[in-house]
A and B are shown apart, each in its own frame.
Chain A
Amino acid sequence: MTFVWGLLYGVGAVVLIAGGAVIGVWWERKVSARIQMRLGPQQIGPAGSLQMIADVPKLLFKEDVLPTAADKPIFRYAPLVVFAPIAASMAVIPFWNGWAPLDSTVGILFFLAVPSIGVIGILLSGWASHNTLATIGGLRAAAQMVSYEVPRSLAVLSVVVLAGSLRPTEIMGAWQWWWVPVTFLGFVVYLVSSIAEMNRGPFDLPEAESELVAGYFADYSGMRWAVFMMAEYGAMIVAALFGAAMFFGGFNWLPGVGGLAVFIGIATVIITAIMWAKWTFPRLRQDQLMTFCWTVLTPMAIVQLVIAGVVSLWL
């Protein structure tokens, strides 16, 4: 029975992320066009909203190029190692009052730990490509993603301290509106380190287009490349949903379906903010990235944790 549920969940998560990526790509094109004084897609469908219907078949029919020097089995399956953990981490997000696909007592730990497996996939893809630029990209990703785990986990921990539970549904049940100002610093840390986790600009050093061409997925084409992109959009969606639930109370604002709409609305605003950051900021350098993580973000997260700890004494 568990196996059937797992299978159903897997299909559901993939469909949700793929659908989210299709909408996300369109939305990002429109947002970036707005920022850059362009129009973005506008020919196919209203406001170019069906552009991805044209783009997805293009990716499906593209030749799947395997570099001669690549370590072929690893090269083939590395994208899945990147994608699967992200799809899995969606399981603990509390979509509804008292309900999450996987209502685990250590849900928060699950959410923070499982996406880190993706770093292995990135490292493997960079190494298996047998391409210097891809290797450097993979190594950069490894250093970056492992480091940014720390402030990200510490930021989420402040909510855990306030709620006194690691079960996401219980946290949602205990959530109060005044947690928003108390944990706002933690949300900022969470947002910044999540952007770094998903390797998006301004922290997209592993795929730095101007230096490493495309970094770890430089040699990928067609659908395998699309899986990497889907993982990136999936990470963005999952991080935004989780952030909206933990730091902004998710569905708690309104009863019933209205609550779900508010939840998704908050997540959309967070996703737009992530896109806004990418299209505004230049890229950091590797050493600056590390210094930023350890001397700015981590202390900020610790300060947030202390605030949450002091506040929780009065709870």
Chain B
Amino acid sequence: MIEPRETPDETVETAVDAVGVPDSAAAADDAAVAVTDPVAVEASLAGSVSVLEREGDRLVVNIGPSHPSTHGVCRVLVELDGEIITNAEPIIGHLHRGIEKIAENRTYLQVVPLTDRLDYVGSMYANWAYCRAVERLAGIRVPERAEYIRVIVCELQRIASHMMSIGSTGADTGATTAFMYSFWQREQVVDLFEQLCGARLTYNYVRPGGVAFDIPEGWVDRCRAFIAKHPDAMLEIDRLLFGNVICRARTKGIGVLDPDDAVAWGVTGPTARGSGVDWDLRRDDPYSVYPRFDFDVPLGERGDCYDRGRVRLFECIESCRIIGQALDQLAELEPGVIKADGLPRLLAPRPGDAYDHIESARGSLGVYLVSDGSVRPYRMKVRSPAFSNLAILPMLAKGHTLSDLVVILGSLDPVFGEVDR
């Protein structure tokens, strides 16, 4: 429809003047202290949700920490010129719980529930990434059946997580119906998880050496029924949301991420693939049983919000393909073998370190573990994709309007449990 960068909203700007922003000379005194120094701005903002700071026509707005579109507890300090963003700084740490530090005082098995709380939209991923690091550290060989189950639950988790992202793209642009449609898909996945492990959000399902429980009776059929219907539902959401003329106008050409920038800033996952960065750990650094499956990696071209959203949408369809193949191959394996043999109650790996990463719904999720030979990890570090992806927000948001900020933030799909840790 129109290019956002070329059409600053003059009507609103003049309206600001008319209502009574003081002339720049009078405002210069107090504004010079306030706006240029971020510490002073923060101090002045500390008392209320948002107050007015002026430097000429410049307006400082706090989006968050409690705001419908920050996808958690993020605060974005936005500097506005009319409605155009001149600077947007994400201020993180509101959800910091010190998970990496707490892990140092727990045994290796006790850390698994903590990893659930990292990325609470995709708990299975953090479980798995941590377990892979432990298995590498302790030299545990995981039975094939457990690997298949892990692949199945993590691909289901990818669907659940992407449904959250696509749904909130709808909610951010005001299309609440698309939100409800995609959450119905997520709900079905969460029901499957509930039958599998009893939990709907923090599963604690993938454990060092295998998985917690074997697949219950009838679960495979329910899973098959879901993946048979899911691709059609995805195409319907594609028509409803990304096919809508207003949604296209709101997402196309917004927040364009250059592929070189994406690589330079360590952006991974669908956010990078939306810009055409052809990098997927499942294919490019194969782990578990992924080499046995036939699947494609959807890529975007322009790197805008539209492409990022649609890459997620088509990844869900690819996930259904993987799950279908995994269920077929799983049927030929002996049931019940879901844990490595001879696993001690308390793991105490030899001193050393290990790093392993997987492709989570947000990108490459890595866990680095150091062992000093005791039953507790000496150090744990999580390389979270959401943190790296969020870092490019100021670059993407600059020059767009306030309305676009929430769409751009949503298209990066940050989960603040993982950003702040």
Contacts and interface: CB of A to CB of B under 8 A. Distances in A.
Contacts of A130: 51-52
A288 B249 contact: yes
B175 interface: yes
Interface residues of B, number: 48
B24 interface: no
B16 interface: yes
Nearest to B16: A139
Contacts of B9: 143, 286-287, 290
Given A139-B16, A139-B19, A287-B2, A210 B11 contact: no
A190 B364 CA distance: 51
Given A127-B19, A210-B68, A285 B404 contact: yes
Given A132-B50, A143-B11, A284 B61 contact: no
A35 B69 CA distance: 23
A224 interface: no
Nearest to B251: A282
B36 interface: no
B120 to A, nearest CB: 21
A282 B173 contact: yes
Contacts of B61: 132-133, 136
Given A35-B177, A127-B19, A139 B12 contact: yes
A257 interface: no
B83 interface: yes
A131 B49 contact: yes
B12 to A, nearest CB: 5
Interface in A205-234: 205, 208-213
A49 interface: no
Contact of B51 (A132, A213, A282): A132
Contacts of A69: 48, 51
Given A132-B61, A282-B247, A285-B250, A36 B177 contact: yes
Contact of B180 (A37, A143, A209, A211): A37
A167 interface: no
A282 B170 contact: yes
B177 A143 contact: no
A286 B176 contact: no
A104 to B, nearest CB: 32
Contacts of B184: 37
A285 B401 CA distance: 8
A139 B67 CA distance: 20
B175 A281 contact: yes
B50 A287 contact: no
Contact of B52 (A132, A139, A210, A285): A132
A109 to B, nearest CB: 25
B181 interface: yes
Contact of B244 (A135, A143, A211, A281): A281
Contacts of A155: none
Contacts of B25: none
Contacts of A266: none
B417 to A, nearest CB: 21
Interface string A192-216: 0000000001101100111111000
25 contacts: A36-B181, A132-B51, A132-B60, A136-B83, A136-B402, A140-B12, A201-B174, A209-B68, A211-B69, A213-B67, A213-B68, A279-B176, A279-B177, A282-B173, A282-B241, A283-B173, A284-B250, A285-B4, A285-B249, A286-B401, A287-B2, A287-B4, A288-B1, A288-B2, A290-B9
Interface of A: 35-38, 69, 123, 127, 130-133, 135-136, 139-140, 142-143, 147, 201-202, 204-205, 208-213, 279-288, 290-291
Report, nearest first, the 8 A-B pairs whose CB atoms are least far apart: A283-B174, A282-B173, A282-B175, A36-B180, A143-B11, A132-B50, A210-B69, A287-B7
Given A37-B180, A130-B51, A291-B2, 8 more contacts: A133-B50, A133-B61, A136-B12, A136-B402, A143-B15, A208-B174, A285-B403, A287-B9
